[in-house]
Amino acid sequence: MTGEGPLTVRASLPDGTTARLDWGPEEHDGSTWHRPGDEWGTGIVFPKRGCWRIELSRTRGTGHLWLPVA
């Protein structure tokens, strides 16, 4: 994730259901995948199936993705 500052991660369904963070986000010190941004790890517990919106934000920088959970 590009940007600066700590990372905040939230996951929700369109009906308002939210997922629980099990651990993280935690920044990884290094990687063999060379690309812009910092590498982070996060464990998320999804309480039900659906297409989840994962929102990521830092002090400077935001992003989101959709993740289908079966």
Give the 3-state secondary structure of residue 18. strand
pLDDT in tens, 4-25: 999 999 999 999 999 999 999 9
This prediction has a pTM of 0.84
**Is 59 exposed, middle or buried (CB count within 10 Å of its CB: 0-12, 13-18, 19+)?**
exposed
Of 62, 58, 52, nearest in space to 21 by CA: 52
pLDDT of 49: 97
- Domain definitions of the chain by residue range: 1-30+39-48
Q: Say how far apart CA 5 and CA 47 lie, in whole Å.
A: 29
pLDDT of 25: 95
pLDDT of 10: 98
- Strand segments, DSSP code E, in the chain are 8-12, 20-27, 40-45, 50-57, 62-69
pLDDT in tens, 28-68: 887 777 888 888 999 999 999 999 999 999 999 999 999 99
